[in-house]
């Protein structure tokens, strides 16, 4: 199961991560987000030891969503070394 993070946990979970992090910006009402989720969970099962996977609900985390200019979802970003 992919871990959900928010505005207050983003820094520790993503910026301070030792390995690359895939961030899924999503919302529960987003149909395409629901289609992407099983794919990301499969990738996490395969690569979870080498890459960290997290999800951010854009409705509940507006600060991070605005900081990275998320204008449509799903948006998937990769962070490496912050």
pLDDT tens, residue order, the chain (82 aa): 899 999 999 999 999 999 999 999 999 999 999 999 999 999 999 999 999 999 999 999 999 999 999 999 999 999 998 7
What the block records as the tokens of 67 is: 């900081």
Predicted TM-score (pTM) of the model is 0.93
**Choice among 33, 54, 56, 73 that is catalytic:** 33
Contact indicator for 53, 19 with CB cutoff of 8 Å: no
Is 76 catalytic? The answer is: no
**Choice among 30, 40, 64, 70 that is catalytic:** 30
Strand duo 3-5 + 75-79: pairing: unpaired
Is 80 catalytic? The answer is: no
Strand duo 52-57 + 21-26: pairing: parallel
Domains of the chain, first to last: 3-79 (3.40.30.10)
């Amino acid at each position: 199961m992919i871990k959900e993070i928010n505005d207050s946990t983003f820094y520790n979970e993503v910026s301070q991560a030792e390995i690359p992090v895939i961030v899924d910006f999503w919302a529960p009402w987003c149909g395409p987000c629901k289609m992407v989720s099983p794919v990301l969970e499969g990738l996490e099962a395969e690569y979870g030891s080498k890459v960290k996977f997290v999800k951010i609900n854009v409705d509940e985390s507006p600060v991070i969503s605005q900081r990275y200019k998320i204008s449509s979802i799903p948006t998937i970003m990769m962070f490496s070394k912050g």
